[in-house]
Amino acid sequence: MVRDFTGRTVIVTGAGSGIGRATAVLLATEGAELTLVDVDEQGLAGTGDELEKASPGSRALLVTADVSREEEVAGYVRATMETFGRIDGVVNNAGIEGKHGLTEDYGTEELDRVIGVNLVGVHLGMRHTLKIMREQRRGAIVNMASLAGIRGVAQRAGYVAAKHGVIGLTRSAALEYGRFGIRVNAIAPGGVLTPLVERAMREAGGDNWRELADAAGTPMGRLGAPEDIAAPVAFLLSPEAAFINGTVLTIDGGQSTAAF
């Protein structure tokens, strides 16, 4: 299926690498005008280069911003309206994993940091764009949750709590804004081979990191690729998903299907 986002504007946060970059590239090839947001200026520039290769001449506004800071979120939303005049879609993808450790050792400073990016960042992204979408009487939002937002993961207290919260925010907003023609959904990926995950695999597996990744616990025998998530994100933003609202789509290669 070929989607056409021509004339539509989409904001993608966490666009400097991984799922965010793959989503940006896909949407650009399908004609979208983009505002790409990341705290990593160098990564964001790299995404801009990838867009130019994949879709020469595509329109993209690159904004370096921290999604946990309200004034910076308001800034990228304002810049989007000044540049494109509309917001049709938002992908609240920016996230960090945070430290690993027992809950009793998980300090409030680290908790605030992880919750700030992963949960508050999603709330702020919705807060500042839902107002505009409500006036437009249209819009679609995709929030990036995680398989960790559906079930528990040991030694990841902050991350797990934040991703559970993302699902709660998604469902609440879906109930509130559906009558305005706005859809709000979430995606819950399992293991995805992003640069962050690859680095962790290399540290754990050394020269055998690829074998470790391929044995990562999915019935399909591999981790997901960022492109495996980007395509469903684009679908949920598109008119083809016009009656999908408040849904959490799990994309994990069947990992969560297993009882043990």
At the second CATH level, the architecture of 9-251 is: 3-Layer(aba) Sandwich (3.40)
End-to-end CA gap in the chain: 36
In the chain (260 residues long), the average pLDDT of successive 10-residue segments reads 89 98 98 98 98 96 99 99 99 94 94 97 99 98 96 92 98 99 97 75 65 68 91 98 98 80
Which residues make Cβ contacts (< 8 Å) with residue 158, sequence separation at least 6? 98, 99, 106, 110, 111, 113, 114, 115, 118
Which pLDDT value is given to residue 8?
Answer: 98
Three state DSSP letters for 62-84: EEECCCCCHHHHHHHHHHHHHHH
Q: Where are the domains of the chain?
A: 9-251
CB–CB of 7/59 below 8 Å?
no
- The sheet with strand 182-189 has its strands ordered as 60-64, 33-38, 9-13, 89-92, 139-144, 182-189, 248-251
Of residues 72, 79, 90, 178, the one with CA closest to residue 126? 90
Two tokens, residue 76: 């990228």
Q: Look at residue 211 in the predicted model and tell me its pLDDT.
A: 66
Look at residue 242 in the predicted model and tell me its pLDDT. Answer: 98
Return the pLDDT at 210: 63
Q: How far is CA 78 from CA 19, 117, 128, 233, in A?
A: 24, 20, 9, 23
Q: Write the DSSP symbol of residue 224.
A: B
Q: What is the pLDDT of residue 6?
A: 96
Read off the amino acid at residue 208: N
In the block, residue with structure tokens 């990744």: 213
| DSSP codes of every residue in 136-203 | HT-EEEEEE--GGGTS--TT-HHHHHHHHHHHHHHHHHHHHHGGGTEEEEEEEE--B--HHHHHHHHH
Which residue's entry shows tokens 């993608």? 12
Chain CA centroid to CA 258, Å: 25
**pTM > 0.75: yes or no:** yes
CA distance 47 to 101: 32
* pLDDT for residue 193: 81
- Compute how many other C-beta atoms are within 10 angstroms of the C-beta atom of residue 115: 19
- Compute the distance between CA of residue 234 and CA of residue 207 in angstroms, rounded to an integer: 35
Active site residues: 159
Other CB atoms closer than 10 Å to residue 72's CB: what's the count?
18
Amino acid letter, 56: P
The pLDDT of residue 101 is 92
Q: What is the DSSP string of 244-255?
A: --S-EEEESTTG
